[in-house]
Amino acid sequence: QKEVEQNSGPLSVPEGAIASLNCTYSDRGSQSFFWYRQYSGKSPELIMFIYSNGDKEDGRFTAQLNKASQYVSLLIRDSQPSDSATYLCAVNDDYKLSFGAGTTVTVRA
Amino acid sequence: ETGVTQTPRHLVMGMTNKKSLKCEQHLGHNAMYWYKQSAKKPLELMFVYSLEERVENNSVPSRFSPECPNSSHLFLHLHTLQPEDSALYLCASSQVVAVSSYEQYFGPGTRLTVT
Protein backbone atom coordinates (compact mmCIF):
# COMPACT_ATOMS: atom_id res chain seq x y z
CA GLN A 1 0.00 0.00 0.00
CA LYS A 2 1.26 3.47 -0.85
CA GLU A 3 2.37 5.64 2.06
CA VAL A 4 0.69 8.96 2.61
CA GLU A 5 2.09 11.20 5.36
CA GLN A 6 0.40 14.14 7.03
CA ASN A 7 1.21 16.20 10.11
CA SER A 8 -1.31 15.09 12.71
CA GLY A 9 -1.63 18.55 14.23
CA PRO A 10 -3.56 19.94 15.82
CA LEU A 11 -3.21 23.02 13.66
CA SER A 12 -4.72 26.02 15.39
CA VAL A 13 -5.44 29.16 13.37
CA PRO A 14 -7.35 32.35 14.19
CA GLU A 15 -10.58 33.06 12.38
CA GLY A 16 -9.94 34.78 9.07
CA ALA A 17 -6.40 33.43 8.69
CA ILE A 18 -5.05 30.95 6.14
CA ALA A 19 -4.74 27.32 7.21
CA SER A 20 -2.05 25.38 5.33
CA LEU A 21 -2.09 21.58 5.33
CA ASN A 22 0.63 19.41 3.86
CA CYS A 23 0.77 15.88 2.53
CA THR A 24 3.59 13.80 1.05
CA TYR A 25 3.28 10.48 -0.75
CA SER A 26 5.68 7.68 -1.51
CA ASP A 27 4.79 6.55 -5.05
CA ARG A 28 6.12 8.83 -7.76
CA GLY A 29 3.68 7.24 -10.21
CA SER A 30 0.58 8.42 -8.34
CA GLN A 31 -1.84 10.29 -10.59
CA SER A 32 -4.83 11.44 -8.54
CA PHE A 33 -4.97 13.28 -5.24
CA PHE A 34 -7.89 14.04 -2.98
CA TRP A 35 -8.69 16.05 0.12
CA TYR A 36 -11.48 15.01 2.46
CA ARG A 37 -12.92 16.84 5.47
CA GLN A 38 -14.20 14.80 8.41
CA TYR A 39 -16.11 16.33 11.29
CA SER A 40 -15.99 14.48 14.59
CA GLY A 41 -18.27 11.45 14.51
CA LYS A 42 -19.16 11.97 10.83
CA SER A 43 -18.03 10.38 7.60
CA PRO A 44 -15.36 11.89 5.31
CA GLU A 45 -16.60 14.41 2.76
CA LEU A 46 -14.73 15.06 -0.49
CA ILE A 47 -13.78 18.72 -0.81
CA MET A 48 -11.11 18.81 -3.53
CA PHE A 49 -9.36 16.64 -6.07
CA ILE A 50 -6.38 17.48 -8.26
CA TYR A 51 -4.71 15.58 -11.07
CA SER A 52 -2.25 18.08 -12.61
CA ASN A 53 0.73 19.98 -11.27
CA GLY A 54 -0.08 23.48 -10.06
CA ASP A 55 -2.95 25.06 -8.21
CA LYS A 56 -6.66 24.34 -8.26
CA GLU A 57 -9.05 26.73 -6.55
CA ASP A 58 -12.61 26.11 -5.37
CA GLY A 59 -14.09 28.87 -3.27
CA ARG A 60 -11.95 29.33 -0.16
CA PHE A 61 -10.01 26.13 -0.84
CA THR A 62 -6.87 25.81 -2.97
CA ALA A 63 -5.14 22.50 -3.64
CA GLN A 64 -1.52 22.59 -4.79
CA LEU A 65 0.28 19.66 -6.40
CA ASN A 66 3.99 19.21 -7.05
CA LYS A 67 4.60 15.75 -8.46
CA ALA A 68 8.37 16.24 -8.67
CA SER A 69 8.50 16.79 -4.91
CA GLN A 70 5.68 14.26 -4.26
CA TYR A 71 3.83 16.88 -2.30
CA VAL A 72 0.24 18.04 -2.22
CA SER A 73 -1.16 20.77 -0.02
CA LEU A 74 -4.48 22.35 0.88
CA LEU A 75 -4.93 26.00 1.71
CA ILE A 76 -8.05 27.23 3.46
CA ARG A 77 -8.43 31.01 3.12
CA ASP A 78 -10.51 33.16 5.48
CA SER A 79 -10.78 30.25 7.93
CA GLN A 80 -14.08 29.94 9.74
CA PRO A 81 -14.97 28.07 12.95
CA SER A 82 -16.99 25.70 10.75
CA ASP A 83 -13.70 24.63 9.10
CA SER A 84 -12.65 22.99 12.37
CA ALA A 85 -12.33 19.33 11.40
CA THR A 86 -9.84 16.63 10.47
CA TYR A 87 -8.57 16.85 6.89
CA LEU A 88 -7.57 13.63 5.14
CA CYS A 89 -5.21 13.45 2.18
CA ALA A 90 -5.71 10.50 -0.19
CA VAL A 91 -3.81 9.18 -3.20
CA ASN A 92 -5.07 6.73 -5.79
CA ASP A 93 -3.62 3.23 -5.38
CA ASP A 94 -4.93 0.98 -8.17
CA TYR A 95 -8.64 0.32 -7.45
CA LYS A 96 -8.51 1.97 -4.02
CA LEU A 97 -7.28 5.09 -2.26
CA SER A 98 -4.47 5.26 0.29
CA PHE A 99 -5.35 7.69 3.08
CA GLY A 100 -3.16 9.67 5.40
CA ALA A 101 -3.91 9.72 9.12
CA GLY A 102 -5.32 13.24 8.86
CA THR A 103 -4.54 16.71 10.19
CA THR A 104 -6.85 18.18 12.83
CA VAL A 105 -7.58 21.87 12.32
CA THR A 106 -9.04 24.13 14.97
CA VAL A 107 -10.18 27.61 14.00
CA ARG A 108 -10.42 29.84 17.05
CA ALA A 109 -12.89 32.71 17.03
CA GLU B 1 -26.65 13.56 2.27
CA THR B 2 -24.53 11.83 -0.37
CA GLY B 3 -25.48 9.25 -2.97
CA VAL B 4 -24.36 6.51 -0.60
CA THR B 5 -26.73 5.35 2.13
CA GLN B 6 -26.08 3.06 5.06
CA THR B 7 -28.41 1.31 7.49
CA PRO B 8 -28.67 1.12 10.36
CA ARG B 9 -27.01 4.33 11.51
CA HIS B 10 -26.53 3.02 15.04
CA LEU B 11 -26.30 -0.58 16.23
CA VAL B 12 -25.78 -2.10 19.66
CA MET B 13 -25.22 -5.82 19.72
CA GLY B 14 -24.08 -8.47 22.11
CA MET B 15 -21.11 -10.67 21.42
CA THR B 16 -23.31 -13.64 20.52
CA ASN B 17 -25.60 -11.77 18.13
CA LYS B 18 -25.66 -11.86 14.36
CA LYS B 19 -26.42 -8.68 12.48
CA SER B 20 -25.85 -7.17 9.04
CA LEU B 21 -24.89 -3.71 7.86
CA LYS B 22 -26.29 -2.55 4.53
CA CYS B 23 -24.89 -0.05 2.05
CA GLU B 24 -26.48 1.20 -1.17
CA GLN B 25 -24.99 3.55 -3.73
CA HIS B 26 -27.02 5.55 -6.25
CA LEU B 27 -24.07 6.96 -8.19
CA GLY B 28 -23.67 4.28 -10.86
CA HIS B 29 -20.23 3.36 -9.56
CA ASN B 30 -18.58 -0.02 -10.13
CA ALA B 31 -16.55 -0.39 -6.92
CA MET B 32 -17.55 -0.46 -3.26
CA TYR B 33 -15.53 -0.45 -0.05
CA TRP B 34 -15.89 -1.19 3.67
CA TYR B 35 -13.76 0.78 6.13
CA LYS B 36 -13.45 0.63 9.91
CA GLN B 37 -12.65 3.74 11.90
CA SER B 38 -11.99 3.40 15.62
CA ALA B 39 -11.90 6.41 17.92
CA LYS B 40 -9.09 8.81 17.03
CA LYS B 41 -7.56 6.30 14.59
CA PRO B 42 -7.06 6.41 10.83
CA LEU B 43 -9.35 4.75 8.36
CA GLU B 44 -8.72 1.02 8.00
CA LEU B 45 -9.68 -0.52 4.67
CA MET B 46 -11.43 -3.84 5.24
CA PHE B 47 -12.82 -5.05 1.90
CA VAL B 48 -12.95 -3.92 -1.70
CA TYR B 49 -15.36 -5.08 -4.37
CA SER B 50 -14.75 -4.11 -7.97
CA LEU B 51 -17.36 -5.16 -10.53
CA GLU B 52 -18.95 -7.29 -7.79
CA GLU B 53 -15.76 -9.31 -7.30
CA ARG B 54 -13.89 -9.12 -4.02
CA VAL B 55 -10.44 -7.81 -4.87
CA GLU B 56 -9.08 -7.11 -1.43
CA ASN B 57 -9.46 -8.51 2.05
CA ASN B 58 -7.07 -6.83 4.45
CA SER B 59 -6.56 -9.64 6.97
CA VAL B 60 -9.97 -9.03 8.45
CA PRO B 61 -11.17 -11.60 11.04
CA SER B 62 -13.68 -14.12 9.75
CA ARG B 63 -16.34 -12.78 12.12
CA PHE B 64 -16.77 -10.07 9.45
CA SER B 65 -18.22 -11.42 6.20
CA PRO B 66 -18.90 -9.14 3.21
CA GLU B 67 -21.41 -9.70 0.45
CA CYS B 68 -21.87 -7.79 -2.80
CA PRO B 69 -24.92 -9.10 -4.69
CA ASN B 70 -24.75 -6.36 -7.36
CA SER B 71 -22.86 -3.16 -8.09
CA SER B 72 -25.27 -1.03 -6.05
CA HIS B 73 -25.46 -3.01 -2.82
CA LEU B 74 -22.91 -4.09 -0.24
CA PHE B 75 -23.46 -5.90 3.03
CA LEU B 76 -21.27 -6.63 6.02
CA HIS B 77 -22.45 -9.62 8.04
CA LEU B 78 -21.37 -9.64 11.65
CA HIS B 79 -21.25 -12.55 14.11
CA THR B 80 -19.63 -13.25 17.48
CA LEU B 81 -18.01 -9.84 17.59
CA GLN B 82 -15.66 -8.60 20.29
CA PRO B 83 -15.86 -5.32 22.23
CA GLU B 84 -12.80 -4.05 20.32
CA ASP B 85 -14.90 -4.24 17.15
CA SER B 86 -16.87 -1.23 18.36
CA ALA B 87 -16.22 1.49 15.79
CA LEU B 88 -17.66 3.56 12.98
CA TYR B 89 -18.12 1.38 9.89
CA LEU B 90 -18.03 3.31 6.66
CA CYS B 91 -19.08 2.29 3.19
CA ALA B 92 -17.78 4.08 0.11
CA SER B 93 -18.12 3.79 -3.64
CA SER B 94 -16.11 4.96 -6.61
CA GLN B 95 -15.69 4.52 -10.33
CA VAL B 96 -12.71 2.35 -11.24
CA VAL B 97 -11.33 2.64 -14.75
CA ALA B 98 -8.44 0.45 -15.89
CA VAL B 99 -7.57 -0.49 -12.28
CA SER B 100 -7.42 3.14 -11.24
CA SER B 101 -9.82 4.62 -8.73
CA TYR B 102 -11.32 8.04 -8.97
CA GLU B 103 -12.72 9.86 -5.98
CA GLN B 104 -14.59 7.86 -3.37
CA TYR B 105 -17.87 8.96 -1.85
CA PHE B 106 -18.69 7.85 1.66
CA GLY B 107 -21.95 6.94 3.30
CA PRO B 108 -22.85 8.37 6.71
CA GLY B 109 -21.55 5.30 8.54
CA THR B 110 -22.91 2.85 11.09
CA ARG B 111 -21.86 3.46 14.68
CA LEU B 112 -21.46 -0.06 16.12
CA THR B 113 -21.22 -0.80 19.82
CA VAL B 114 -20.49 -4.35 20.96
CA THR B 115 -21.45 -5.09 24.55
Greatest Cα pair distance in chain A = 41
Tell me if A34 sits within 8 A of A48, measured CB to CB: yes
Residue B1 pLDDT greater than 60, yes or no: no
Q: What integer pLDDT is reported at residue A7 of this predicted model? A: 86
A29-51 confidence digits (pLDDT tens): 898 999 999 999 999 999 999 99
Q: Of A109, A107, A103, A91, nearest to A37 (Cα)?
A: A103
A46-58 confidence digits (pLDDT tens): 999 999 999 999 9
Distance between A17 CA and the closest CA of chain B, angstroms? 26
Q: pLDDT > 90: what percent of chain B?
A: 77
CB pairs under 8 A between A and B: 58
**For testing the chain A interface, which of B43, B96, B102 should be mutated: the one with the most A CBs within 10 Å?**
B43
> Is A31 in CB contact (< 8 Å) with chain B?
yes
Chain A CB contacts of B105 below 8 Å: 46
Q: What integer pLDDT is reported at residue B85 of this predicted model? A: 96
Chain B CB contacts of A90 below 8 Å: 104
Contact A99 B103 (CB under 8 A): no
Residue A27 pLDDT greater than 60, yes or no: yes
> Is A108 in CB contact (< 8 Å) with chain B?
no
B12-52 confidence digits (pLDDT tens): 999 989 999 999 999 999 999 999 999 878 899 999 998 87
Q: Which of A45, A92, A101 sits opposite B100 (nearest CB)?
A: A92
Apex A96 CA angle, A91 and A98, nearest 5: 40
Taking CA–CA distances from B107, the nearest residue in chain A reads: A43
Q: What integer pLDDT is reported at residue B114 of this predicted model? A: 96
Q: Is residue B99 very low, low, confident or very high in pLDDT (cuts 50, 70, 90)?
A: low
Q: What integer pLDDT is reported at residue B57 of this predicted model? A: 79
A56-107 confidence digits (pLDDT tens): 999 999 999 999 999 999 999 999 999 999 999 999 988 889 999 999 999 9
B65, burial (CB in 10 Å: exposed 0-12, middle 13-18, buried 19+): middle
Q: What integer pLDDT is reported at residue B24 of this predicted model? A: 98
Taking CA–CA distances from B103, the nearest residue in chain A reads: A34
Q: What integer pLDDT is reported at residue A96 of this predicted model? A: 87
**What is the arithmetic mean of pLDDT over A1-17?**
91
Distance between B79 CA and the closest CA of chain A, angstroms? 24
Q: How far is CA A68 from CA A12, A65, A90, in A?
A: 29, 9, 17
Tell me if B29 sits within 8 A of B95, measured CB to CB: yes
Q: Which of A41, A46, A96 sits opposite B56 (nearest CB)?
A: A96
